[in-house]
C-alpha cells in the first residue's frame, strides 16, 4: 500500500465509522424464556427521524414480522388491573392545587384553539350546524371543570396533538408505534397497560402528578419551525438514555424523573406481571417508552428498569444488533 493511499483509506474508515455509530446503538432487546420470545423496543412519543433509520429496517421490522402480537400504549383493550385506586385531591398541597387550577385554564385555552382550528377546516354546511363559539366555549369550560386530573391529562394530550404542526406527506404515519401498526395490518394489537394501568400509575405519583399536566401543556409546538428545531436535542437525549447516560437538563425525556416512582416504576411492575404470564412459545412485540427501560434511582424512585426486571423474572435479555 502506498503512502499516498493510506490517508485516503483512513478517511474512508473514519467516515464509515461515523456513519454507522448511531445504527450500532441498540434500541431493541430480545427477552427469551423457554421457547417464548419477547421483543422490547425503546421509543419516543415524537417519532424522531432517527427512529426510522437503517436499524429500524434491519432489526426492528424483521422482529415485528416474526411476532404473533404487537403491544403498544393507548389501545384500551387491557384487562382489569389488580387495583383501581382513584386520585385523591386531598393529597395535593397548596402549590399542587394552584398548579392544577392553572392547568385547567391552560387546557381550556388549548381546547378553544383546537376547536377554532377544526372550525376553520369545516365546510359551510357543517359550520351552519355547529354551535356558536360562545356556546361551544361554555361547553368546553364545563367539561374541563368537571373532569378529574387524569381525564384532564388525556384531554390535554388530545388537544395538544390536534394543534401540532401538520406533518409532511412522507411523515403522515406518526410515531414508531403507529408505523409498526401500519407495517403489520394483520397483527393483533393490544394495550401494554391494564385497562386502568395508566391511571393507577398516575395516581401513584401523589402530589407531584400535577407536574405531568403542566408538562403536557408546555410541550405544545408553537409552529413547525419550533418543532423542527427541537429534533436534534431530542435525538441527543434519546441516544443518551439508550447509552445509559442522563439526558440534558430540562429535556422532555428527563422531566419525568420526579414522577418515576408512580409513572415508571409502577407501570413496570404491572408490565412484568403480564409479560411473565406469556408462555405460549411464540414471539411477541412490545413498544415501550425509553424512560421505562432503564433504572430510575433518585430521591423519589428506586427501580431497576424493565430490562433488569425481565432478567429478574427469569428471562435472558440481549440487545438486537
163 pLDDT band, cuts 50/70/90, is confident
179 pLDDT band, cuts 50/70/90, is very high
pLDDT at 306: 96
pLDDT at 282: 98
Q: Which has more confidence, 17 or 242?
A: 242
CB under 8 Å, gap of 24 or more: what pairs does 137-146 form?
A: 137/112, 140/108, 140/111, 140/112, 140/115, 141/108, 143/111, 144/104, 144/107, 144/108, 144/111, 145/104
Give me the mean pLDDT over the 158-166 stretch. 77
6 pLDDT band, cuts 50/70/90, is very low
Taking only the tens place, the pLDDT of each residue in 249-282 is 888 888 777 788 888 998 999 899 999 999 999 9
CB count in 10 Å sphere of residue 106: 18
pLDDT at 186: 97
Taking only the tens place, the pLDDT of each residue in 59-93 is 999 999 999 999 999 887 767 766 655 677 777 88
Laid out side by side, the sheet with 283-289 consists of 189-191, 69-72, 283-289, 36-43, 28-33, 316-319
Give me the mean pLDDT over the 173-191 stretch. 93
Amino acid at each position: 500500500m502506498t503512502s499516498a493511499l493510506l490517508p485516503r483509506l483512513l478517511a474512508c474508515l473514519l467516515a464509515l465509522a461515523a456513519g454507522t455509530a448511531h445504527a450500532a446503538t441498540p434500541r431493541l432487546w430480545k427477552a427469551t424464556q423457554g421457547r417464548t420470545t419477547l421483543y422490547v423496543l425503546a421509543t419516543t412519543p415524537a417519532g424522531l427521524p432517527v427512529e426510522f433509520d437503517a436499524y429500524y429496517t434491519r432489526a426492528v421490522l424483521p422482529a415485528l414480522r416474526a411476532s404473533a402480537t404487537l403491544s403498544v400504549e393507548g389501545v384500551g383493550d387491557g384487562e382489569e388491573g389488580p387495583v383501581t385506586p382513584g386520585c385523591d385531591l386531598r393529597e395535593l398541597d397548596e402549590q399542587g392545587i394552584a398548579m392544577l387550577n392553572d392547568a385547567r385554564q391552560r387546557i381550556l385555552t388549548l381546547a378553544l384553539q383546537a376547536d377554532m382550528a377544526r372550525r376553520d377546516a369545516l365546510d359551510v354546511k357543517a359550520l351552519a350546524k355547529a354551535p356558536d363559539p360562545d356556546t361551544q366555549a361554555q361547553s368546553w369550560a364545563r367539561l374541563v371543570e368537571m373532569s378529574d386530573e387524569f381525564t384532564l391529562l388525556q384531554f390535554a394530550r388530545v388537544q395538544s396533538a390536534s394543534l401540532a404542526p401538520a406533518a409532511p406527506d412522507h411523515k403522515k404515519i406518526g410515531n414508531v408505534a403507529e408505523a409498526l401498526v401500519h407495517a403489520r395490518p394483520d397483527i393483533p394489537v393490544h394495550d401494554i397497560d391494564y385497562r386502568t394501568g395508566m391511571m393507577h400509575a398516575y395516581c401513584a405519583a401523589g402530589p407531584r402528578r400535577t407536574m405531568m399536566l403542566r408538562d403536557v401543556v408546555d410541550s405544545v409546538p408553537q409552529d413547525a419551525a419550533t418543532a423542527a428545531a427541537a429534533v436534534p436535542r431530542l435525538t441527543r437525549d434519546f441516544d443518551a438514555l439508550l447509552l445509559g447516560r442522563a439526558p440534558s437538563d430540562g429535556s422532555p425525556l428527563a422531566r419525568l424523573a420526579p414522577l418515576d416512582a408512580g409513572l415508571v416504576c409502577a407501570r413496570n411492575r404491572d408490565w412484568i406481571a403480564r409479560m411473565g404470564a406469556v408462555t405460549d412459545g411464540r414471539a411477541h412485540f412490545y413498544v415501550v417508552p425509553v424512560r421505562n427501560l432503564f433504572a430510575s434511582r433518585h430521591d423519589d424512585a428506586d427501580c431497576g428498569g424493565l430490562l433488569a426486571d425481565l432478567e429478574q423474572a427469569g428471562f435472558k435479555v440481549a440487545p438486537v444488533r
